[in-house]
Amino acid sequence: MRNFKLLFWLIGAFFLGLTSCNLNENDEEPMYEVSFTVLDEGNALEGATIIVNGDTVGTTDANGMLKESFLAGVFPYSVVAEGYEDYTNKSFIITDKAVEVSVDLVWIPVTSVVSFSVMNGEVNVEGATLTLSEGTVLTTDEEGSAALELLPGSYTFSIENYGYQTQVDVPFTVEREDVIIETEFELVSENILIFAERGTGNLYSVLPTSLTDSTKIGTVIDEEGNPLKGIRGFVVDDVDNKIAYASLVKSEGAGVYKIDLNTLVATLIYENPDTGTTWDAMSSLIIKDGNLFGVAWINGHGHSYVKLSKDGEFISYSDITANNYYGGFLPMDNGNYYLGNEGSLDLYNDLMESQSSLTLSGTDLNLSVDDFRVMSIAKLNDVVYAIGLDDLTDIMHLTSIDLETGVVTEIKDFPTTADDKQNYVHALTTVPFYSVY
């Protein structure tokens, strides 16, 4: 009986020992949460890769965070992200509680594309010069665009182009994204003056802000490529399609031409006949009621008011009582016209009947006003301008004329001689800036 009790006790102790061994083997070591936060200058950085003990743990979420659990211990780790310096050779230690690891990565500066778009309203401004503070000089293309790559930082640019208001030291900042800079480029004036050089066919423009400076637009040529010499009258018709008309002096045929201002190619639309309505020159041109009008000296009739269609069809002419008319045909807002004379501007009504005469005067030492032949007249921004010849010096002058007082003020001169009229200039007129640029 005693042996039986001993056996029972031994068997119980055996099984109790087995149970204790199983409990120790299944008892896991505690795990602790590690919260990784990756920042970029204090802002959450998504997509950074966390590497612990050489193994990739995962990538940060939109909040720049990643959470993972580890046993207690010392763990080497790294954080890497495209475009940033690697964060390596660091460790975190877990003892008996959760751990927070925060890393602020250093961004590696790279260039961003800076694109300029230069416009005047809805018009792309081609040929504008952009000068940046770091030294780069750009020129806008036909789309009004220019671009370059810059490192992050603060910059300025200046922009200039003929006919536009210069902008200086305009600031802009480049950060980490591409930059688009849209610039509204204002015109100096919606309209400008142009004139033609008689002996070359060259057209020149004059800005109201710089009247003493003229800039060559180009040379008008005929369909055979020859310079269109002897331009006497000039008028722009269709700004959108850039169409103009010009009349020539008698020595060059006294014909009327239609000009494509995109190419400056001129096509003869009216050839001055040898008989009948032959004129010495249609000295000025305007457009009225869809037709061309001009004043010309018609053989056998004297000064006449001539009407042509835009296709070059001769419609009519009527005599006018103009004495010593030399050029200039300036429509006024009230329907009247000024015609240029020697020492005066003569006013006519819509029927080309003489109304009055404005005597020119002035004390300009460079100009003999009494002998000043007005050859062309134009009005720009409420100021009347005239090109004329000083009979005493044979010098052509660009002037302004006060229609209230008749006072003439010289702006610039065009030296020439009585025998050589190659430098004579005519066809002064006002045109929209975009008709020739």
Alpha-carbon span 193 to 198, nearest angstrom: 16
Alpha-carbon span 435 to 432, nearest angstrom: 5
Alpha-carbon span 340 to 298, nearest angstrom: 17
The reported pLDDT for the residue numbered 27 is: 57
Alpha-carbon span 234 to 343, nearest angstrom: 23
Contact 115, 145 (CB under 8 A): yes
The reported pLDDT for the residue numbered 17 is: 43
Domains and CATH numbers, the chain: 31-105 (2.60.40.10), 112-184 (2.60.40.1120), 191-436 (2.120.10.30)
The reported pLDDT for the residue numbered 393 is: 78
The reported pLDDT for the residue numbered 416 is: 62
CA distances from 132 to 139, 177, 182, 397 (A): 11, 19, 15, 40
pLDDT digits (tens), the chain, 437 positions: 444 444 444 444 444 343 333 333 445 789 999 999 999 989 999 999 999 999 999 999 999 999 999 999 999 999 999 989 999 989 999 999 999 999 999 988 899 999 999 999 999 999 999 999 999 999 999 999 999 999 999 999 999 999 999 999 999 999 988 999 999 999 999 999 999 988 889 999 999 988 989 999 999 999 999 999 989 999 998 777 799 999 988 888 888 999 999 999 999 999 887 666 677 777 888 898 889 988 877 766 667 888 899 999 989 887 776 566 677 888 888 889 898 888 889 898 888 788 888 999 887 766 777 788 888 999 998 899 999 888 777 788 899 999 999 999 989 888 665 455 556 888 899 999 999 98
Alpha-carbon span 347 to 54, nearest angstrom: 97
Tokens at residue 157, please? Answer: 């640019």
- DSSP H helices, 299-347, are none
The reported pLDDT for the residue numbered 10 is: 44
Sequence-distant (6+) residues with CB within 8 A of 427 are 194, 195, 196, 231, 232, 233, 234, 246, 376
pTM, two decimal places: 0.75
The reported pLDDT for the residue numbered 171 is: 96
| CB-count burial class (<10 Å; 0-12, 13-18, 19+) for 29 | exposed
Contact 360, 389 (CB under 8 A): no
Length of the chain: 437
The reported pLDDT for the residue numbered 153 is: 93
